[in-house]
Structure formats: C-alpha cells, structure tokens
Amino acid sequence: METPNYAIGQAVFVRTDVPDYAEESVPFRDLAEMVDICSKPRPNLILEKIVVFSMVNSEPVALTLGFISSSKGSRPGNLEAVEG
C-alpha cells in the first residue's frame, strides 16, 4: 500500500503548559505514522483526540476518537481539594 502525499488524519493534543485551553494538532499520512505520533511521550501535551479523514462516494467523512484527560484545563499548581 502506498503512503499518500496528503494527511489522512491528525492527532490533537491539549497543551498543559498554558493556563487556557489550547490545542496542538499533528497531522499523519498513514496508520504507522499515527501510532508513532501517539505513542511517543510529548512534554506538556496530552492526547485529546484522533481524527481520521476519508472520502466516501466523493463526500468527506471523518472518524473522531476522543479521550478524556483528568488534567484538561487545570494547571498542577492551581489544584484545590473540594470537600463534598
């Protein structure tokens, strides 16, 4: 199977080094590249979702795989214990 010259998807990471919600997207051209991107540790980034693009009957289609992060939107120094 040939590797396409265009991205077939992207891995979207949440930045943990900024106080506001910020995303960083990393495109990939095949599934092997996706695995490589998603399996390597990335300082200050947490994997949020993977989006895979396709064309079905000349219509764009996307599959999104989302992940939940317990530290999304929080800085480690600003955490507080809440008693319930």
Tokens, residue 36:
């490589």
* 28 within 8 A of 60, measured Cβ to Cβ: no
Structural domain count, the chain = 1
Considering the entire predicted model, what is its pTM? Answer: 0.72
Tokens, residue 54:
């396709």
Q: Is 72 or 5 the better-scoring residue by pLDDT?
A: 5
Domain extent, residue 34, equals: 9-70
Q: Is residue 1 situated within a structural domain? A: no
Q: pLDDT at position 55, please?
A: 83
pLDDT at 84 over 60: no
Q: Is residue 54 situated within a structural domain? A: yes
Q: Is residue 2 situated within a structural domain? A: no
Q: Is residue 59 situated within a structural domain? A: yes
Q: Is residue 34 situated within a structural domain? A: yes
Q: In angstroms, rounded to a whole number, what is the distance separating the alpha carbons of residues 49 and 64?
A: 7
Q: Is residue 83 situated within a structural domain? A: no
Q: Is residue 81 situated within a structural domain? A: no
pLDDT digits (tens, 9 = 90+) for 22-79: 899 999 999 999 999 999 999 989 999 999 998 888 888 999 998 876 555 555 555 5
Beta-carbon contacts of residue 42 (< 8 Å; ≥ 6 apart): 13
Q: How many residues does the chain have?
A: 84
